[in-house]
Structure 1
Amino acid sequence: MPPSCSVCEKSEGVTIQQCSQCRNRKYCSRECQTKDWPTHKKDCNKPWYDKYRKCQDKSLHHGKLELITWSNAKEGTGWGHVFEDEAADLKRKFEVELQRDEAKFYKEWPQGFRWTCCGTDGGMDYGCDHHGSGPKPCTCDFCRMGKPLPDKIYNEDSASRHGLQLRRGPDPRSYNSRIAAIATKGRGMLGLDM
Structure 2
Amino acid sequence: MPAARESGKCFTCRKEMPWNKIKRCGRCKGPQYCSEQCQLADWPSHKRSCKRQTVWYDKYRACQDGSIHEGKLELITWPSPNPSDGTGWGACLLEEADDLKRKFETEFGGDENKFFKYWPQGFRWTCCGTDGGMNWGCDHHGTGKKACTCDFCKMGAPLPDKIYRERSATRYGLTLQRGPDPRSYNSVDAGISARMRGVLGLDL
Cα pair 1:63 1:117 within 8 Å, conserved: yes
2:158 partner letter? P
Q: Which has the larger radius of gyration?
A: 1
What does 1:136-147 align with in structure 2 at a 5 Å threshold?
136-147=146-157
Q: Which residue of 2 aligns with 1:50?
A: 58
Counterpart CA distance in 2 for 1:112 and 1:127 is 17
Match of residue 36 from structure 2: none
Pair 44,127 (structure 1): closer, same or farther in 2 beyond 3 Å: closer
Aligned equivalents of 1:96, 1:189: Cα separation in 2: 47
Residue correspondence of structure 1 range 1-194 to structure 2 within 5 A: 46-72=54-80, 73-194=83-204
**How many residues are matched?**
152
Once the two structures are overlaid, the 10-residue window that deviates more, 90-99 or 145-154, is 90-99
Alignment partner of 1:132: what SS?
A: coil
Is contact 1:143–1:172 with CA below 8 Å preserved after alignment? Answer: yes
Give the alignment's Cα RMSD to 1 decimal. 1.3
Deviations 1:23-72 (A, max 9, x none): xxxxxxxxxxxxxxxxxxxx986110000000112210110100000012
Q: 1:89 to 1:182 in 2, by over 3 A?
A: same
The aligned amino acid for 1:157 is R
> Gaps spanning 5+ residues in structure 2: where?
1-50
* Structure 1 alignment gaps of length 5 or more: 1-42
Quote the Cα distance in structure 2 between the aligned partners of 1:62 and 1:159. Answer: 19
Aligned to 1:114, the other structure's residue is in SS state strand
Task: State the distance in 2 between where 1:44 and 1:63 align.
Answer: 16
What amino acid sits opposite 1:136 in the alignment? K
Distance (whole Å) between structure 1 residues aligned to residue 74 and residue 189 of structure 2: 32
- Inter-partner Cα distance in structure 1 for 2:124 and 2:53: 21
Normalized against structure 1, the TM-score is what? 0.76
Deviations 1:79-131 (A, max 9, x none): 00110010000000111111110000000000000000000100111010001
